[in-house]
Structure 1
Amino acid sequence: MPLRYCRKCREYTLEEECPKCGGGTVKPYPPRFSPDDRYGRYRRMLKKESMKGEGYV
């Protein structure tokens, strides 16, 4: 059973639904790394555009 995290009340649980608030839970880990990143190009493009808007590039 993996550890799960409730975003509403910020509690950890083993259940799919939070026992305190009844909200849904998510896995607290980052997504698995993949060298075949299909969306990496778009993510880098968006980051570059946001840095231009803030005056960093």
Structure 2
Amino acid sequence: MNLFIALIKLPFAMLQLVWSLLLLTLELARISYHLGRLLVILLMTCGRWLHRVYSRWF
């Protein structure tokens, strides 16, 4: 009887695991997207600042 219940619960547990992994992947993709945007903004700001500093000398 316990084996029968375990066999019924197994697909739901696997589905829950797959769903949580999918959500984790989406969350990591969202975080890396925001980090990438932040990095681009920082690089552009540093580039503008360096251009402003060095354009006086060259």
Q: TM-score, normalised by structure 1?
A: 0.33
Higher strand residue share: 1
Higher Rg = 2
* Structure with higher RCO (Cα < 8 A, 6+ apart): 1
Higher helix residue share: 2
